[in-house]
Structure 1
Amino acid sequence: MKASELRSKDAAGLQQELNELLKAHFNLRMQHATQQLGNTSQLTKVRRDIARVRTVLREAASKK
């Protein structure tokens, strides 16, 4: 997901996206802990997406 795509969303949409990513990250961590996760690079991708969403949310809050 790109930051430009996130900037086109409103705050409610960003918050919903953040919640979905946090749930996905939790599920990936549980799979990793039980050694069911084959592709561990997914953890990094989801963490970076979470950081992108949080950054865009903070940018939008500082503009107001």
Structure 2
Amino acid sequence: MTLNEIRATENADLLVEIDDLKEELFDLRFQQAIGQLENPARLKEIRKTIARIKTVITERELSETK
């Protein structure tokens, strides 16, 4: 997901997306542990996407309180 797509999505949908990404990250870590990981760059990509989503959610929460 790009940053524009993340910003256009509702918070509830973003939380569901985070859950999906965390599951995928778990599966990729498992594949890495047993030596079957085909694309190691995907781990970094997923972690960064999760961080972007959490940042947007935090920004929205902070803007609501002000």
**TM-score, normalisation: structure 2:** 0.91
Tell me which stretches of 4 or more aligned residues in structure 1 moved more than 6 Å. none
Q: Which residue of 2 aligns with 1:39?
A: 39
Q: Aligned residue pairs: how many?
A: 64
Q: Which has the higher contact order (CA 8 A, sep 6+)?
A: 1
CA separation in 1, counterparts of 2:43 and 2:55? 18
Task: Report which of the two structures shows the higher radius of gyration computed on alpha carbons.
Answer: 2
Segments of 5+ residues of structure 2 without an aligned counterpart are none
TM-score (norm 1): 0.94
Structure 1 unaligned segments of length 5 or more: list them. Answer: none
Deviation at 1:38, TM superposition (A): 1.6
Report percent identity of matched pairs. 36
Residue aligning to 2:18? 18
Distance of 1:41 and 1:28 partners within structure 2: 10
CA RMSD of aligned residues (A): 0.7
